[in-house]
A and B are shown apart, each in its own frame.
Chain A
Amino acid sequence: MLQILDLSVTFGGLHALRNLDFHVEEGEIVSVIGPNGAGKTTFFNMISGMVTPTSGEILFEGESLLNLDPSQVTERGIARTFQNVRLFANMTILENVMVAQHCRTHQKVFGALLQTKAFKSEEIAIREYGEEVLSFFGSRLIGYRLNQPASVLSYANRRRLEIARAMATRPRLLLLDEPVAGMNPRESAELTALIGRLRSEWGFTIVIIEHDMSVVRDVSDRVVVLDHGETIAQGSYDSVANDPKVIEAYLGRQVQDKNADEEASS
């Protein structure tokens, strides 16, 4: 579905991503992990068109995503959430999911001015789909909350609303940037279950950046480990978790090994 070939992103002299190869198949849930500064968020920014790669190619369903604006990428069917929740805080919860359907709707100025049938039915359709998406998260975001500003929501509910907003763009590929960050264990367990349902019920293919290893273990079909902008390992959770390179990236090299190396070289 998504294929990334030999892709590099450079900011000045800094290689945020280096010769990255990556692919996602339809219906997969792939986790991207790595220590801080490994280039995970840049990786998302680049897929969603907010950062232009220096070289390489991104193919989504066989078509290149290079040189597209973020809104065009969203229109192709890729939606994302943000690591530091970025809602439209002063718009209501319903408006947040309504505005996300912008690229799926077509009414222009004259429809609104003349209040045409098409305009009204489209407004109703947007509203209904928005409520449907929100009700995926139970009763938290619907009912009297619909017309409250997003800023009154609790942290966990903001994260949920952000996922709902991404769902409202009717994507096929969903990019979740640390969806459970800041949630308590119960909430993150619940969200883990919801991520599974996002695939089974809504048919989304999902790529997750996550630091919480229990979530990564529970949801992912495949784990990709980034460090210093390069893929250092990929495969099932178990194989990756035991990969010495991954352990080294996270924990550093073992002291004995280092001594052994020095002894060997001397």
Chain B
Amino acid sequence: MTATANDASTFEAPGLDWRRQIRFSAIGALSCAFIALAGMPVGLDRRSIVYPVLSLGYLSLLWVPFVLASLAGSQVVLEGMGERERDTRDLAAGALVGLGSALGLVGLMILVKNFNLRDPLVNWSPQLLELLSFNRSTTLGMLLWVVLGTTLGLLGGAMHVVPAMVRAKVLTVVLSVLLVSVLQTFLTDLLEGFRLEVFTDFIYYKRGGLEILGALLVAVLAIAIPLLVGGRIKGLRARVQKMPPDERSRTNLVLLGVGAALLLILPFFLGKITNELLANVGLFVLLALGLNIVVGLAGILDLGYVAFFAVGGYTTAVLTSPNSPGFSPELPWPVALIAVVVLTGLVGLFIGAPVIRMRGDYLAIVTLGFGEIIRLLFLSDWLSGWFGGAQGITNIPGVDVGIGTVKGTDPRSVFLLVLIFCGIAIYVSWRLEHSRLGRAWMAIREDEDVAEAMGVNTTSTKLMAFVVGAVLASFSGAIFSAKVGSIFPSSFIMLVSIIILVVVIVGGMGNIAGVIVGAVVLIGVLGGPKQPGLLQELGQFKLLIYGALLVWMMLKRPEGLVPNVRRSRELHQEEFLQDAWLKGEIDEDDEEDPS
């Protein structure tokens, strides 16, 4: 049976699917028009990627023909089927998709020139037309778009024709130039800490983006560095993998320790802006780790998670601020933290108890409701004697740690504090996942009824997930309130819950590393609900990008960026079983003599 599966010539590979190419052309045309009308080209034009040739605004359109052409040309290679021979027809197909996408823009330009639909569509503006025609005549602009689109589509199609090595190199170069350009604030700040301003001054244009020479340098480095050190790293990794298990785990532990130490030193080399940014990322890492326990491990879809963040923040504010309207013990932060943890745990129990008996959609909706109820309670006049209503609580002191005070004006200290708590949260998640409780959570996620029948008290186990998640969120809330120094109900809107959930889903549900990656990518680059990210220009399109990313993830990679092995198995059950069968890991019902 396996012989047929491995024989590539058994089945004839399907030819080029032209209908698919045409479909992708149409998608490209619609995407281009949509992006243009969403205002991205105009809104993002001020930020350069490579000065002066490429701005983020143009990039928001130019990726479409390239990426769609290469997507249209990609093909699922099934086991037992040879890959199709690629030839010039693939180039033509790519060019077709590119042309299609460009035609979308051309059509839009004609419409914008001749009709005025500015009333419903705010971005239907002369500026858009001007930008799309590259500040020249409309006809020339259209021609340019056709040429650009076709060329980029051709390149996208060519990605499948060239050898894999070349493709990988091209992608590395393109991605590193983009990344270095996007990470400008961060890198400048970091290299300044090491007194290497010369380098960043050389590659970056002052008002954002790389210089052309800088971009070339980055491209050269992107090719050269893997050539120089790539082999050595590969060798090291192979050596670690060959080690016996206990030695390997020890090496991993050492590496982890070194990584943690480096992270703790990092803040001292960073400037204010970057520290502030990373502190925000850290707060969301904390929240996402907590939600990961509830959603990722126990499988309880909690859409009101922000409630615990709010309770943590408000409790800290009440207990530490001298301005707290009702009750103001002015406790030091570490003492208050104990009360915060206990209280948020209790709120977790209180909210969890009625919610836990529900399942699926009902549970999600009820948690959504509770999240809003908590915010409205803090906002209400009824409790404004305690929590200040819409005025919130101000003048929250920082955290006094003996050698200094952690407060918002000193982002470095905040980042350090956040790092410590992230460490605690990671440890808690890791230990609990591999314990009796973690196994029970997983069993409940798999099949709640059976878990109950196998002796797992599902009510108390699910409540535990709620409480642990709540406590981790309360850490984040406590730091948040000491960092910002004042607290208002508007910081705890439903959007926060949704964004934390998106971070967990995009990063990889049920995986600690995945959740951290998700928070760094989404909050760090795009920004949180109110916090700006590295690309501040993207601020107004944040939710659009979040949404698009989420849809794409759900369609193409539901297990997230860094998947949990178990979860991706669950989501790709059939493929996994097929692979296992091909590897001979599936056992057949045995025919051998029972003796």
A residues in contact (CB < 8 Å) with B: 48-50, 69-72, 74-75, 79-80, 82, 86-91, 95, 98-105, 107-109, 111-113, 115, 119, 122-123, 126, 140, 148-149, 151-157, 165-166, 169, 183-184, 186-187, 189-190
Tell me the number of A-to-B contacts counted with CB atoms below 8 Å: 143
> Cβ of B544 < 8 Å from any Cβ of A?
no
A184 adjacent to B589 (CB under 8 Å):
yes
Pairwise interchain contact B585-A109, C-beta atoms closer than 8 A: no
Q: Quick one: given A90-B446, A113-B432, are A98 and B439 in contact (CB under 8 Å)? A: yes
User: Which chain B residues lie closer than 8 Å to A187 at the CB level?
Assistant: 589-590, 594
Let me know if B468 and A109 touch, CB within 8 A: yes
> Are A109 and B464 in contact, CB atoms less than 8 angstroms apart?
yes
- Say yes or no: is B456 at the interface (Cβ < 8 Å to chain A): yes
B437 → A minimal CB distance (Å)? 6
Contacts of B542-595 to chain A: CB distance below 8 A: 566-567, 569-570, 573, 576-577, 580, 585-591, 593-594
CB pair B589 A71 closer than 8 Å: no
B-side contacts of A70, CB under 8 Å:
449, 452-453
Q: Which of A49, A86, A112, A149 contacts B437 (CB 8 A)?
A: A112
Q: Is the CB of B455 within 8 A of A102?
A: yes
Nearest A residue to B447, CB-CB: A86
The answer to whether B573 touches A169 (Cβ under 8 A) is: no
- Can you name 19 extra interface pairs (CB under 8 A) apart from A103-B455, A113-B427? A49-B453, A50-B449, A50-B453, A71-B452, A86-B449, A86-B450, A88-B443, A88-B447, A90-B446, A90-B569, A90-B570, A95-B439, A102-B443, A105-B436, A112-B434, A112-B435, A112-B437, A149-B566, A151-B576
User: Which listed residue (A50, A123, A169, A190) contacts B594, Cβ 8 A?
Assistant: A190
Decide if A156 touches B573 in the complex (CB within 8 Å): no
Q: In the complex, A54 Cα to B310 Cα: how many Å?
A: 45
B437 near A100: Cβ-Cβ < 8 Å: no
Residues of A within 8 A of B4 (CB): none
C-alpha spacing A50/B449, complex, angstroms: 8
Does B493 have its Cβ within 8 Å of any Cβ on chain A? no
Contact B428 A113 (CB under 8 A): yes
**How far, in whole Å, are A186 and B587 apart by their CA atoms in the complex?**
17
Q: Give Cα A202–Cα B440 distance, bound, in whole angstroms.
A: 26
A208 to B417, CA, bound (A): 59
A156 touches B590 (CB 8 A): yes
Closest A residue to B450 using CB positions: A86
Question: Do A107 and B458 touch (CB < 8 A)?
Answer: no
**Residues in chain A near residue B594, CB distance under 8 A:** 186-187, 189-190
Top 10 closest A-B pairs, CB basis?
A103-B455, A112-B435, A74-B455, A88-B446, A190-B594, A99-B439, A70-B452, A71-B457, A99-B443, A70-B453
B169 to chain A, nearest CB (A): 37
CB-defined contacts of B570 to chain A, threshold 8 Å: 89-90
A48 to B427, CA, bound (A): 37
Q: Which of B451, B459, B585, B593 contacts A99 (CB 8 A)?
A: B451
List of A residues within 8 angstroms of B455 by Cβ: 71, 74-75, 79, 100-104, 169
C-alpha spacing A140/B588, complex, angstroms: 11
> What are some 12 contacts across the A-B interface (CB < 8 A)?
A69-B459, A89-B446, A91-B566, A108-B437, A112-B436, A113-B431, A140-B587, A152-B580, A154-B589, A165-B454, A169-B454, A183-B589
A171 vs B308: C-alpha distance when bound (angstroms): 40
Q: A91: which of B431, B446, B589, B590 is its contact (CB, 8 Å)?
A: B446
The closest CB in chain B to the CB of A138 belongs to B594
Give the residues in chain B near A119, CB-CB below 8 Å.
Answer: 435
* Contacts A69-B452, A99-B451; A90 near B437 (Cβ below 8 A): no
> In the bound complex, what is the Cα–Cα distance between A88 and B439 (angstroms)?
11
B442 at the interface (CB under 8 A from A): yes
Q: Which residue of A lies closest to B459 (CB)?
A: A69
B456 touches A99 (CB 8 A): yes
Residues of A within 8 A of B593 (CB): 186
Report the bound CA distance from A74 to B455 in whole Å. 5
Q: Say yes or no: A91 contacts B456, CB within 8 Å.
A: no
Contacts of A101 in B (CB 8 A): 455
A20 nearest CB across to chain B (Å): 21
A226 to chain B, nearest CB (A): 21
Q: Is the CB of A151 within 8 A of B569?
A: yes
Contacts of A100 in B (CB 8 A): 454-455
Residues of the B chain whose Cβ atoms lie less than 8 Å from the Cβ of A89: 446, 570, 573
A48 contacts which chain B residues (CB < 8 A)? Answer: 453
Contacts of A87 in B (CB 8 A): 450
Q: Are A149 and B569 in contact (CB under 8 A)?
A: yes
Contacts of A156 in B (CB 8 A): 589-590
Asked if B585 and A152 make an inter-chain contact with CB atoms under 8 angstroms apart, the answer reads: yes
| Structural contact, A69 and B451, CB atoms closer than 8 A | no
Provide the bound-state CA to CA distance between A154 and B437, in Å. 29
Once the chains bind, are A186 and B446 in contact (CB under 8 Å)? no
Cα–Cα, bound, A111→B432 (Å): 10
| Residues in B whose Cβ lies below 8 Å from that of A166 | 454
Residue of A nearest to B433 (CB): A112
- A109 engages B437 (CB within 8 Å): yes
Are B450 and A115 closer than 8 Å at their CB atoms? no
Chain B 411-437 per-residue mask, 1 if CB under 8 angstroms from chain A, else 0: 000000000000000011001101111
CB-based contact B436/A102 at 8 Å: yes
CB contacts (< 8 Å) of A82 on chain B: these are 450
Q: Please, which residue of chain A has its CB at the minimum distance from the CB of B583?
A: A152
B residues less than 8 Å from A115 (CB atoms) = 431
Measured between C-beta atoms, what is the minimum distance from A169 to chain B in Å?
Answer: 5
Q: Chain B residues near A95 (CB, 8 Å)? A: 439, 442
Q: Is the CB of B435 within 8 A of A107?
A: yes
Q: Determine which residue in B428, B438, B453, B585 has the highest number of CB atoms from chain A within 10 A of its CB, and name it.
A: B453
Contact B458 A71 (CB under 8 A): yes
Partner of B440, one of A79, A102, A155, A186: A102
Which residues of chain A have C-beta atoms less than 8 A from B435's C-beta?
Answer: 107, 111-112, 119, 123
Chain A residues contacting B576 (CB-CB under 8 Å) are: 151
Question: Which of chain A's residues have a CB closer than 8 A to the CB of B573?
Answer: 89, 151
- Give Cα A18 to B590, complex, Å: 41
State the Cβ distance, A246 to closest chain B Cβ, in Å: 30
CB-CB nearest in chain B for A75: B455
Chain A residue numbers with a CB within 8 Å of B587 are: 140, 152-154, 157
In the assembled complex, the CB of B13 is this many whole angstroms from the nearest CB of chain A, namely 29
Measured CA separation A149–B442 after assembly (Å): 13
Q: How far is the CA of A88 from the CA of B440 in the complex (A)?
A: 11
**Do A103 and B456 touch across chains, with their CB atoms under 8 A apart?**
yes
Which residue on A lies nearest to B439, using beta carbons? A99
